[in-house]
Amino acid sequence: MKTAGSKKPLRTCVVCGRNDAKDHFVRFVRKDGVVVCDASGRAAGRGAYLCAEEACFELAAKKGRLGRSLKCPLSAEDYQRLGEAFSNICQDLRQAS
């Protein structure tokens, strides 16, 4: 039975195009020209979503998808820094669920 008002906001992964509830994604946000992992999911700024899966992050890094989505060029060092934050958030998500 469907319950009114239980609809969750959906997000789309910029790498694989998967649609799912917001809490299955990690948000990245561009703030003052710097891209950071947005653990709260509520930071202001232009955002992009990735599945909370290492595979999607690796593809994003390989194909430069995050930089393109956020209109901010990212270097290999940037991806490395973001990858570490991303892994931490993935771990927290896994523990929470």
Answer yes or no whether residue 13 interacts with Zn ion by CB under 5 A: yes
Applying CB under 5 A, the span of 1-9, 11-19, 61-69, 87-95 interacting with Zn ion comes to 11-19
Applying CB under 5 A, the span of 7-15, 25-33, 64-72, 74-82 interacting with Zn ion comes to 7-15
- Answer whether 49's CB lies under 8 Å from 14's CB: yes
3-class SS of residue 10: strand
d(CA 95, CA 80): 23
- Answer whether 57's CB lies under 8 Å from 83's CB: yes
Q: Which is nearer to Zn ion, 4 or 57 (CB)?
A: 57
Answer yes or no whether residue 74 interacts with Zn ion by CB under 5 A: no
Q: Which is nearer to Zn ion, 13 or 29 (CB)?
A: 13
Nearest to 86 by CA among 19, 15, 32: 15
List the interface residues with Zn ion, window 32-71 (CB under 5 A).
51, 56
Which residue do the tokens 């991303």 mark?
86
Residues that bind Zn ion (CB under 5 A): 13, 15-16, 18, 51, 56
